[in-house]
Structures are given as C-alpha cells and as structure tokens.
C-alpha cells in the first residue's frame, strides 16, 4: 500500500482554487519532491496532508488514514519540519527534545532513548545544554529534524527544509534524509532549490494548483529526449537572444545564468544556422555546445506549457 | 496529562529565561504596590496652616495647639493682617488660615458665642471638604471641653454623648480600604498581560505551527500553558499580600486557606482572560495593549476599587457584574478585614469560579478554531 494516496484533492478559498483535483501516490520509503513557485499550491497541499486544513473535496490517505476524517490520527503518524526550524530559542537543545517528546506523548524512557539518538544524529553531543538561540543554522536545522522524528513517524513532511543554511550543512542534511529513507521512512519534501530536487526519487511539479508534471528526475528530463539544448556563451547575451528570434530551427530561447539556452525543434541537431546568424550580426561568441537539459529547463518548459509565468 | 505537563514544563523554562515575562510577573507587582500604596490615600495630613491670633489669650493658644496636636495641620506662618493671608493663599504657601478675633476669650468667659474664622482654599473641592471636616471637629472638641470647664469646673459630663466605634478599620484609614483593591488590580494586570503574550509569541516565532502539527488537544494545551503562570502569579500575589501587611498594616483576620482559594480562583480567571486575548490577536504589541486596556480600566473604574459601585447609574452597575475584580475585592476585604467564613463570601467565590471556567473554556474553543 502506498504511504500517501491522493485522489482529486481540491481546496478552495472562496472563488480561488488553490489546489485543483490533484492526484498522486507516494510509495513507502520514497523521497517525494514537490516543486513549484510561490502560490502554486504546494503549501496548501502539505497543510491538507498534515491534517491542518480540511480538503474542499477529494481525498487523501496518509499512512492509511483519511486526513478529512481523522486529522488527529494523521498527526500521530507524521513528522513535520518547516523552513523556520520552529524550536524554542530560550530552551536548551535537551529541553527542546524533552518538550517535543512530551508533546507527542512519549514516556520518560522513550524520551531518553530518542534523545540519545537525536543527539548522535544531529552531532549535538556535548551541546545538550546550549541554548537553541546560540546554535548556528546547520545545527538548528538538524535539531529541528531530530525533534520532528522523535516519535518515529513512518512519514516525514519537510517544508522547504534547507532555507538559509550553508551548502555543507545542506549536504549533511540530505545525507540524513537519505538514511531515513533507507530505513523505510517516507519523505515528502517541498523545495524551490532545483539542485536539491535532484535528491528526490520522484518529483511533482506544481503550477497554478495542478500537477503539471510528475516522474523521476530522469523521466522529467526525457521530455527533452527528442530535442537538443544548446548552450551559447557570449559577452552580449541579450543581443544574441534577439538575434535568434527568427532562426527556423530554433524552438525557443532563454537566459540560463550568464549563458543562453537554445532549444532546437524536434529532430534538429545542426548548430550551423546559429553560428551563421551570430556572424551576420557581428556578435562575439565564446562557445556553442550541446548540453544535458537541467531540471530548471524542465521546470521552465512545464511552466510555459501550463500557461503560467515563471515568476 | 503527560502532554499538558510537557507544555507546562516548557512554558516554565521559557518564563524563567525570558526576563521580560518574569519582570511582568514579579517585579512590576512589587513596584506598583510600592508606588500606589503610598500615593493612594484619601487621608490628608500636614495641611499648611497660617494663624492670625488677635486675641492672644490662654484660650486662643489652647485652640491653636489643638490644631497642631491633631497632626492634620502644620503651622507654617503666624501673620498679623488679612492681606498677609491673602498673599500666602495666592502663592499656595498655605491651604488654610485660622483667624481668631480679638475678644474671643472674653466672649467665651461671659457666656457669649465666640466666633473664629477658618479660611480654606477651595480650588480642590475634595481636599477642601476633608480639611473643613477636620477643622470643624477640632473646634467642636475644644468648645465642648471649654463648656464643661466653664459650667462645672470639669466635673460634669455632657448630657448626651454619642460614642462612635468604627469596626474593622477603627482609624478609618483609607489605605486599609484601598490596599485590597490595589492587590486585585496588580494581580489582574500582571497575570493578564503576561499570558496574553504567550500564544502570540509562539505565532510570531513560528513554533505555534509546530505545536499545531502535534496530536495534542486544546484543553491539555491550555491547562499546560496556564499551570506555570498560575504558580508564579500565586507566589507573586501572596508576596504582595504579605508586603501589604508589613508596609501598610493590612490585617489578616480570616483564614489563610480561604484567602489562598479566593486568590487562586481570581488568578485562574485572569490567566484565562490573557490566554483568550492571545488567541484573538496576531502580534505581541497588540496583545500588550489590548490586555492592558481590558485588565486595567475595568479593574480601576468598575470594580469598586476607587469608585463605589452603589453610586453608579444602573446600566454601568450592570456592567460591573462582568468584572471579576468586583467579586475579588468584596471577598478579599471580607477575609482580611473582617475575618469572615467561606459561606459569607460564597456568592463572590461562585462568581469568580464561573468567570474562570468561562474564559478558560472560550480560550480552548478559540484555540481549536485556530487549529483548522
């Protein structure tokens, strides 16, 4: 049985449809990523799955429990960690663990056992009595994760869990998430860091309340299998962008960092028309080469086809 | 219950580490007691008095010394003319002038009515009335004594003498009446303000979202939140009462157990009010203002602390039934000043209990609404 089953899940706020007939499954032990710009409906979906918000229609089973019927039952089976690392700043590391353990109804023995586990996992041994407000971002993030899994939930929700954390801590964090997933914990994560999405087994791209694309990172990139993406490096990318407007073999162009990404029409593999156009316009070009489409390319493509803006 | 205890313990650690909350709960009450305790008094003493003695006799000196011996008046000037009195009164150097005309003693001894003049600055009507009362009492006392001396050489008692005896507050010091009100006022403010911050703060810092994700019911959460504030406020309230006894001579004629119970009921209501405010507003600054407003104004104006409820117009009097301090003051005064039993104040205790259950219940319900 899937860990999370979502069928036609819908939530309206007045006339506004925040989540529009969304359906998907998440398998046990899977790391399932939820991608989308702000306002795409990610948070509303998560809040419904965590039992905080009642669905307007449709259903969602989390750990086999209907979130509409028994939100409290859902809460017992999930762990939740938000981007704010919601810990009590005036409490020590140890006190935060004790509090959240108590909040989930753990008895003293269980709290002691899980405290040791969390301290080891987060690398917080020796800092038990440090006030949480004095911890650096990475430590707080790992402590927040630890507090979210004290009650050993089979399903873990992470809402943009790596905001404001340095790259090294972010890598450590993902290593922990992978460990949990290997141990059978289902991880449901929202993010807008596209490089992070590569850590997910499967991804759902949300756009305007709907799931615009869903699949493994590999599958999503395969959308471009029949189209080549060419990366153009040039000192004057804006002029180069305009120069390619009416080249027949070009489907579309976009800025990608300081470079230019050019999608050729299906079947096209020839870069000579591009070079020719640049020469005609007298534009200096550093390099023109084929590249693997990135997740950002996929994302932009999906967003464009869904008719939204890339905001 | 385990969950409620976890919340309570967490809240306690937070209060202890957060100097601001602890200050509101412990320091502010002591500060208020000191400040208001000494400032709030209707007794007027050491009124500045000028004397113009034109008689200059044994009797006139007797009268003057009766004024100074009363401790209500201090002679700051001895003058010779009305213009001097006018000048001193205009400058605010004196509030009262006693004018003894020439021949007062002669009139007295010859059986005629002797007249003295007391001039009072009436720019503050309250003070003037009080001062007038003092002056009249002193003059009357002196004249009664003189009468006896003259008629019977001091051997005959006056025909009828009413002997007033004031119970519970024999010296009629207004402090004894005001201090219980002050205690209610301080306890109300500190407990409402401190708890009103407690949930809003969690909303602002984002920990509230985390708590909402946990499987804990509202009643456990409210109970857990209330316990530490209750314990600290109770200690603070008892300290205030003890301090009032030492500093202002507040007596304790009733049962400590009954007092403890009454204070506990009142506190539960006050803490519930604070929690309710906390569930209704979204920022700490708003919580502070709202809680200060709803705890301070009714407690000062509508509780019988300063203005007697009996003399309020009926619609206002109806509102006072919703002010918990009203019941607390009646009960507290009855317990400490009169030493009454529980059944005498049972109505007040019941009202306090109903209020506490109502606001704590409302806070729980509001918290439930927040969760969806």
The token pair that represents B117 in the structure block: 């003049």
- Residues on chain A touching B205 (C-beta within 8 angstroms): 84, 86, 89
Do residues B288 and B240 both lie within one domain? Answer: yes
B247: which 2 tokens?
A: 């500093």
Do the Cβ atoms of B215 and A100 come within 8 Å?
A: no
Is there a contact between B292 and B315 (Cβ–Cβ < 8 Å)?
Answer: no
Burial degree of B339 (CB within 10 A; 0-12, 13-18, 19+): middle
**Alpha-carbon distance A6 to nearest alpha carbon in chain B (angstroms):** 20
- Domain boundary among the residues A175, A193, A221 is at A221
Same-domain status, A8 and A99: yes
* Mean pLDDT value across chain B: 86
Domain boundary (A203, A221, A239) is at A221
Confidence at residue A192, expressed as pLDDT on a 0 to 100 scale: 75
- Residue B55's domain is classified under what CATH number? 3.40.1710.10
For the residues B236-246, what does the mean pLDDT come to? 88
Candidates B207, B215, B371; nearest CB to A104: B215
Please count the residue pairs, one from chain A and one from chain B, whose beta carbons lie less than 8 angstroms apart.
Answer: 74
Tell me: pLDDT of A278 over 80.
yes
Contact A103 B209 (CB under 8 A): no
Specify whether B275 is located in the same domain as B187.
yes
pLDDT at B51 over 90: yes
Return the higher-pLDDT residue of A296 and B242.
B242
**Strands A229-233 and A78-81, bridge-based pairing:** unpaired
Residue B238 has pLDDT above 80, yes or no: yes
Flag whether A76 is in a domain: yes
Average pLDDT over residues B216-221: 86
Report the alpha-carbon distance of residue B275 to residue B368 in Å, rounded: 13
**Helical ranges in chain B per DSSP H:** 2-17, 19-22, 28-39, 58-69, 82-91, 104-109, 125-152, 174-205, 207-212, 218-248, 256-280, 284-301, 314-320, 324-333, 346-371
Does residue B21 carry a pLDDT above 70?
A: yes
Structure tokens at A297: 């390319």
Chain A residues with CB-CB distance to B201 below 8 A: none
| pLDDT on residue A94 | 93
Give the residue from A167, A197, A221 where a domain finishes. Answer: A221
Measured distance CA(A111)–CA(A131) in Å, rounded: 19
Which residue in the block uniquely carries the two structure tokens 């028309």? A273
pLDDT confidence of residue A310: 40
- Collapsed DSSP state (helix, strand, coil) of residue B366: helix
Q: What is the pLDDT of residues B127-146, one digit of tens each?
A: 788 788 888 888 888 887 77
Give the H/E segment covering residue A175.
helix A167-182
Write the pLDDT tens digit of every residue in A212-224: 889 998 888 777 6
Nearest chain A residue (CA) to B210: A86
Taking residue B104's Cβ as centre, other Cβ atoms within 10 Å add up to 21
A131 and A61 housed in the same domain: yes
Closest CB from A75, A88, A98 relative to B214: A75
The larger pLDDT score, comparing residue A3 to residue B164, is at: A3
Rounded Cα–Cα distance for residues B19 and A172 (Å): 36
B117, B152, B187: which is the final residue of a domain?
A: B152
- The answer on A277 and A151 residing in a single domain is no
Determine, yes or no, domain membership for B164: no
Last residue of a domain, one of B152, B184, B205: B152
Residues A21 and A165 grouped into a single domain:
yes
Contact at CB, B206 and A84, closer than 8 angstroms? yes
A181 shares its domain with A296: no
Contact B342, B349 (CB under 8 A): yes
Taking only the tens place, the pLDDT of each residue in A82-109 is 888 789 999 999 999 999 999 998 999 9
Segment B304-329, tens digit of pLDDT: 888 888 888 999 999 999 999 999 99
Confidence of residue A309 (pLDDT cuts 50, 70, 90): very low
For residue B186, the tally of other CB atoms under 10 A from its CB is 23
Q: What is the DSSP letter of B113?
A: P
Q: Is residue B206 part of a domain?
A: yes
**Residues A86 and A192 placed together within one structural domain of the fold:** yes
Residue B365 confidence (pLDDT) above 50: yes
- Please tell me the least confidently modeled range out of A287-296, B248-257, B308-317: A287-296
Query: Dmax over Cα atoms in chain B, in whole Å?
Result: 95
Mutate to test the interface with A, among B10, B212, B224 (most CBs of A within 10 A): B10
- Sequence-distant (6+) residues with CB within 8 A of A73 are A65, B215
Strand, helix or coil for residue A156: strand
Subunit contact A95:B211, Cβ cutoff 8 A: no
A155: helix, strand or coil: strand
Expressed as residue numbers, the domain containing B271 is 2-40+173-371
CA distance linking residue B211 with residue B203, whole number of Å: 10
DSSP-assigned letters across all residues of B299-338 = HHHSSSSSS-GGGS-HHHHHHHTT-HHHHHHHHHHIIIII
Q: Domain check: are B255 and B348 in the same one?
A: yes
Which residue from A72, A78, A103 is facing B6, i.e. has the nearest CB? A103
Tell me which chain A residues have a C-beta less than 8 angstroms from the C-beta of B206.
Answer: 82, 84, 86
Mean pLDDT of B197-226: 87
Q: Using DSSP bridges, classify how beta strands A202-207 and A229-233 pair: parallel, antiparallel or unpaired.
A: unpaired
Cα gap B104→B58, rounded to integer Å: 11
- Which residue in A72, A82, A98 is closest to B215 by CB distance? A72
Extended strands (E) in A94-168: 155-159
Q: How confident is the model at residue B166 (pLDDT cuts 50, 70, 90)?
A: low
Domain enclosing residue A291, as ranges: 226-305
ipTM over 0.90: no
Q: Does the residue B115 lie in any domain? A: yes
CB contact set of B109 (below 8 Å; sequence gap of 6+): B150
Domain count, chain B: 2
Per cent of chain B over pLDDT 90 is 30
- Residues in A whose CB is inside 8 Å of some CB of B read 50, 52-54, 72-73, 75-76, 78, 80, 82, 84, 86-91, 95, 98-105, 107, 131
Q: Which helix (DSSP H) or strand (DSSP E) does residue A289 occupy?
A: strand A287-291
**In this structure, how many other beta carbons lie within 10 angstroms of the beta carbon of residue B368?**
14
> Would residue B292 count as lying in a domain?
yes
The CATH number given to whatever domain includes residue A25 is 3.40.50.300
CB contact under 8 A, A80 and B210: yes
Q: How far is CA B231 from CA A153, B98, B172, B267, in A?
A: 35, 56, 35, 10
Angle, alpha carbons B306-B312-B315 (nearest 5°):
130
Give the tens place of pLDDT for each residue, A71-88. 889 999 999 998 887 899
What does the block give as tokens for A185? 């914990």
Q: Please indicate, yes or no, if residue A310 is contained in any of the structural domains.
A: no
Strands (E), chain B: 47-53, 73-78, 96-100, 117-120
A21 and A160 both lie in a single domain = yes
Q: What is the pTM of this model?
A: 0.74
> A87 vs B18: CB contact, 8 Å cut-off?
no
Q: State the total domains in chain A.
A: 2
The 10s digit of each residue's pLDDT in B100-115 is 998 888 888 787 888 8
CATH code, A297: 3.30.70.100
* Contact present, B334 and B323 (Cβ < 8 Å): no
Q: Is residue B158 part of a domain?
A: no
Confidence at residue A98, expressed as pLDDT on a 0 to 100 scale: 94
The answer, yes or no, to whether residue B96 has pLDDT greater than 80, is: yes
Q: Residue B47's closest CA among B116, B95, B119?
A: B95
């Amino acid at each position: 049985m899937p860990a999370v089953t979502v069928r036609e899940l819908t939530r309206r706020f007045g006339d506004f449809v925040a989540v529009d007939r969304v359906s998907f499954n998440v398998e046990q032990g899977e790391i399932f990523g939820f991608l989308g710009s702000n306002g795409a409906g990610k948070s509303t979906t998560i809040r419904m799955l965590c039992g905080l918000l009642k669905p307007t229609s449709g259903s969602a089973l989390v750990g086999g429990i209907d979130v509409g019927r028994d939100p409290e039952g859902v809460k017992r089976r999930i762990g939740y960690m938000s981007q704010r690392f919601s810990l009590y700043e005036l409490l020590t590391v140890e006190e935060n663990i004790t509090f959240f353990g108590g909040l989930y109804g753990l008895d003293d023995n269980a709290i002691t056992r899980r405290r040791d586990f969390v301290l080891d996992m987060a690398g917080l041994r020796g800092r038990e009595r440090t006030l949480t407000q004095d911890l650096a971002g990475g430590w707080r993030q790992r402590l927040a994760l630890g507090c979210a899994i004290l009650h050993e939930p089979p399903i873990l929700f992470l809402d943009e869990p790596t905001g404001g954390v340095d790259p090294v801590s972010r890598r450590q964090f993902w290593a922990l998430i992978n460990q949990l997933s290997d141990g059978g914990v289902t991880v449901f994560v929202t993010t807008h860091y596209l490089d992070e999405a590569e850590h997910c087994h499967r991804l759902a791209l949300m756009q305007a309340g709907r799931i615009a694309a869903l699949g493994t990172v590999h599958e999503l990139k395969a959308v471009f299998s029949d189209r080549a993406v060419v990366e153009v490096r040039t000192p004057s990318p804006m002029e180069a962008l305009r120069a390619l407007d009416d080249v027949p073999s070009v489907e579309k162009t976009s800025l990608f960092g300081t470079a230019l990404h050019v999608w050729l029409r299906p079947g096209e593999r020839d870069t000579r028309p591009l070079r020719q156009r640049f020469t005609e316009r007298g534009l200096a070009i550093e390099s023109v080469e084929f590249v693997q489409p990135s997740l950002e390319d996929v994302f932009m493509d999906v967003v464009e086809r869904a008719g939204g803006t890339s905001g | 219950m385990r969950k409620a205890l976890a919340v309570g313990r967490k809240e306690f650690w937070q209060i202890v580490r957060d100097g601001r909350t602890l200050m509101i709960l412990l320091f502010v009450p002591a500060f208020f007691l000191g400040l208001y305790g000494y400032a709030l008094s209707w007794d007027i003493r050491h009124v500045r008095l000028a004397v113009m003695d034109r008689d200059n006799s044994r009797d006139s000196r007797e009268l003057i010394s009766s004024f100074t011996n009363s401790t209500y008046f201090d002679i700051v000037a001895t003058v010779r003319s009305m213009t001097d009195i006018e000048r001193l009164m205009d400058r605010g150097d004196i509030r009262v002038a006693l004018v003894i005309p020439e021949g007062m003693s002669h009139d007295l001894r010859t059986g005629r009515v002797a007249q003295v003049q007391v001039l009072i600055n009436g720019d503050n009507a309250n003070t003037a009335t009080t001062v007038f009362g003092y002056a009249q009492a002193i003059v009357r006392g002196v004249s009664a004594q003189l009468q006896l001396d003259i008629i019977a050489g001091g051997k005959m008692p006056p025909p009828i003498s009413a002997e007033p005896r004031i119970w519970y507050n024999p010296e009629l010091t207004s402090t004894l009446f005001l201090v219980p009100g002050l205690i209610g006022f301080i306890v109300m403010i500190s407990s409402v303000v401190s708890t009103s911050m407690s949930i809003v703060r969690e909303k602002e810092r984002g920990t509230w979202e985390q708590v909402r994700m946990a499987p804990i019911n509202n009643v456990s959460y409210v109970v857990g939140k209330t316990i530490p504030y209750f314990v600290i406020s109770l200690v603070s309230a008892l300290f205030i009462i003890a301090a009032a006894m030492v500093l202002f001579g507040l007596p304790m004629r009733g049962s400590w157990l009954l007092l403890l119970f009454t204070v506990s009921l009142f506190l539960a209501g006050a803490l519930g009010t604070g929690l309710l405010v906390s569930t209704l507003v979204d920022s700490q600054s708003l919580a502070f203002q709202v809680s200060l407003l709803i705890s301070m104004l009714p407690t000062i104006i509508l509780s019988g602390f300063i203005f007697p409820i009996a003399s309020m117009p009926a619609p206002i009097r109806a509102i006072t039934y919703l002010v918990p301090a009203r019941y607390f003051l009646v009960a507290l005064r009855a317990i400490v000043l009169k030493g009454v039993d529980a059944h005498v104040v049972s109505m007040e205790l019941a009202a306090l209990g109903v209020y506490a259950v109502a606001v704590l219940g409302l806070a729980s319900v509001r918290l439930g609404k927040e969760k969806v």
